[in-house]
Structure 1
Amino acid sequence: MTVRILLCDDHAVVRAGLRALLSSAPDIEVAGEAATGEEAIALTRKLTPDVVLMDLQLGEGMDGVETTRRILRTADEGTRAPHVLVLTTYDTDADITRAIEAGATGYLLKAERPEELFTAIHAAAQGRTALSPPVATRVMSHLRTPRPTLTPRERDILGHLVQGLTNRDIARTLYISEATVKTHLRRIYDKLGVTTRAAAVATAKEQRLIP
């Protein structure tokens, strides 16, 4: 069975390279190309590809994660939604988590060999998960190490901390004393395994501990 692909990458040279590479596979057909998320959504509805090969960073406008989320909504609108296979250079925990939560079937790094890409495309077309080894390792690590459990109040304080508020500002906003804020911060630091405000903010963003 021939798998029809829609390429979504904001770099024309990358799209040209992928098209040339995929043309060497007899059972893969590039149905179209998109440079932006908006264009990918429109072409998905028009071309109904089996798989969308999605980059995460798409320049201005929506990124690959939001594009993936909106493309997969087409299934709710009565149209067959394609499977989305992320193909990117980014392998941070936050990027992987966001893509998977948005509904991506697979997550592949651009450093993979062509054969691995072909295999991942066919797996994605069948709805099977396809992950680069480094990505799979990160996912398993996340599963083995659950995110810290914060109380609602600790989440409130952490959220204000991410916004750059001082202890005094947080106390005024939440109608509590500065001493209480400091107590909560010590507990937050202990749970996150950090010792500074900057480290707490970085960890909160990386682990998506706040909305």
Structure 2
Amino acid sequence: MTHRAVMRAKVACLRRQQGVADSAATAVRLLGIGVTHLRAAEPRLILVGGLPGAGKSTLAGGLADALGAVLIRSDRVRKELAGIWPLTDRRSPWRTGLYQPGRTAAVYDALLRRAADALRHGESVVLDAGWVDAAARDAALVIASRAGATPVELRCVAPAQVAAERITGRTGDPSDATPEIAARLAAGFAPWPAASEIDTTARPADAVAAALHRVEQVGTNVPS
């Protein structure tokens, strides 16, 4: 489609030189179609972050499905690196067990390595993690830049009570977060001004639609 649009635009330009009416407008329209298709084909690295219970995984899954992107979830990677089943309960006090700082750093390193590999193959990637640390976000942006991918930063938000209810009501989920852990993470969450906030209190489909709109905006350099 992109090649055909560009070729037809060239023909319209030639006709414009020959004095055919409306050829210039046709060329502009066809070139616009070509640019739109090229942008749609660009790989994207989408960071979906936020506090526990904010709806990250639901949004990330819906977004990956809608875009046909590779989905990588930090909670699953953490359990995989430890050699245990993803649904194994490994809740522990703050920064102990599987959640020691060194283990968390290894999880983010693995996330970014896998993302880089997928991007090299032309795949878009959705990374579902907390992204509490600004340094981790910066490292992700470096990966995107090296791969020529468009970075998109999304932060899921929900009222504290809603998030707490989600956390305590979880079953069959890799996350080991508790309301206490969520409070600790909230206190240490580095400012993230580059992220677009996605309200997840409405229907999941509405949150995904809002996220998709933002992805499209970033791809066309439209300000939020």
Asked if Structure 1 and Structure 2 have the same fold, meaning a TM-score greater than 0.5 normalized by the shorter chain, the answer is no
Instruction: Considering Cα pairs closer than 8 Å and 6+ residues apart, tell me whether 1 or 2 has the greater RCO.
Output: 2
TM superposition score category, shorter chain reference = 0.3 to 0.5
